[in-house]
Amino acid sequence: MDEFLNIFNTVHVWLFEQLVQPLLFATDNMALADDAFEGLEWTLLGAIEIIFLALVLRTIERRWPLEPLTDRRAVRTDIIYTALHRLGAFSLIMFALLSAQFDTVAAWLHLNGVTPFNLEQLWPGVTDIPLVSFVLYLLVLDFVDYWVHRGQHQFNWWWALHSLHHSQRQMTLWTDDRNHLLDDLLRDVIAAAVALFIGVAPGQFMLLVIFTRMQQSLQHANLRCTFGRWGEKIMASPRFHRLHHAIGYGHEGVARGCNFAVLFPVWDLLFRTADFRNDYPATGIRDQLEGRDYGQGFWAQQWLGLKRLLRYE
């Protein structure tokens, strides 16, 4: 691990000095050097994620696919989404933009004798242990994500955007990032604000996002995969999440769907939205069977999402 970190840091510094820094200097933007340095780190980590997904998880998909791929153009579009989201540092940008505002608030509270909330201070000596705090942050952010996800299905205007994610009829590891940009922006703002409120540091936030994204890539994979009777209740599996994408049920059934948990199905168990049936149904949206078009390429999908939003359909 130390050797990997040394190589990563060396590549990070070299790319910044050879490519990014000269560009900033040429465009008279050296004031952005610190932000650019952090952004480059996020982009490199995203590149490593994509390489791992392509070499490991995609190989597993090819070896043991749940269903054959018949529309490879749709999958290629999903790959574009994955590259854009994992190399574009959307989550980190929101975190950085909001952190300045939170720093201002924290300074004001300090001057008035108020100590800002920090989750690690709940149980000194225990919650400040890195692994314990990491798990606690995951639980809190996943709880918020569960309710955000419920909102994406409950409110018609939000579903107008989020429906793009469900329009993929052939789920693969790349499907996770198939989202409308406005939908992602709203979700990232909420996640960053909550993370800052509970005291997540930038480095921790980066690890939390990467862990969540990698697990979501797995749960969208084209695999006949379950984590077992008890494992299913601990972590969302491809089978568990596929039910959420099921035509006419996962997002359109009783109470507008099931299996909303992003990581931990415990939230679905607590709020009675869990479905653990052993089934691998067809995925998509019911109105697609009636001819509704959600777009074939990136720009068409984004444009149609805006039209659905403006019409509140």
Model pLDDT, residue 270:
95
Model pLDDT, residue 214:
94
| Distance (Å, whole) CA 6 – CA 269 | 43
**Which residues lie below 8 Å from residue 308, measured CB to CB, with a gap of 6+?**
160, 161, 163
Place of tokens 């490519």: 19
Nearest 10 degrees: CA dihedral of 127, 129, 135, 138?
80
Residue 193: inside a domain = yes
Number of domains in the chain: 1
Residue 26: inside a domain = no
Q: Which domain holds residue 255?
A: 64-311
Helix axes 90-111 and 33-52, enclosed angle (nearest 10): 130
Residue 14: inside a domain = no
Of 120, 177, 133, 144, residue with least CA distance to 263: 144
Residue 32: inside a domain = no
| Distance (Å, whole) CA 170 – CA 232 | 22
206 pLDDT above the threshold of 90: no
Confidence of residue 110 (pLDDT cuts 50, 70, 90): low
Residue 31: inside a domain = no
Residue 248: inside a domain = yes
312 pLDDT above the threshold of 80: no
Model pLDDT, residue 12:
86
% of the chain with per-residue pLDDT over 70: 87
Model pLDDT, residue 185:
87
Residues 290-302: what's their mean pLDDT?
A: 92
Of 304, 305, 264, residue with least CA distance to 143: 264
Q: Is-contact 260 242, C-beta < 8 A?
A: no
- pTM of the full structure: 0.87
Of 202, 218, 204, residue with least CA distance to 263: 218
Residue 306: inside a domain = yes
- Of residues 21 and 241, the one with the higher pLDDT is 241
Can you say whether the dihedral through the CA atoms of 299, 304, 305, 306 is positive or negative? positive
Can you say whether the dihedral through the CA atoms of 43, 44, 46, 51 is positive or negative? positive
Beta bridge partners of 283: 246
What number of CA atoms fall less than 13 Å from residue 49's CA on the CB side? 30
Residues 147-175: what's their mean pLDDT?
A: 93
Residue 255: inside a domain = yes
- Find the range with the poorest average confidence among 66-80, 114-128, 138-152, 225-239: 114-128
Nearest 10 degrees: CA dihedral of 180, 184, 187, 193?
-150
Confidence of residue 32 (pLDDT cuts 50, 70, 90): confident
254 pLDDT above the threshold of 50: no
| Distance (Å, whole) CA 282 – CA 236 | 18
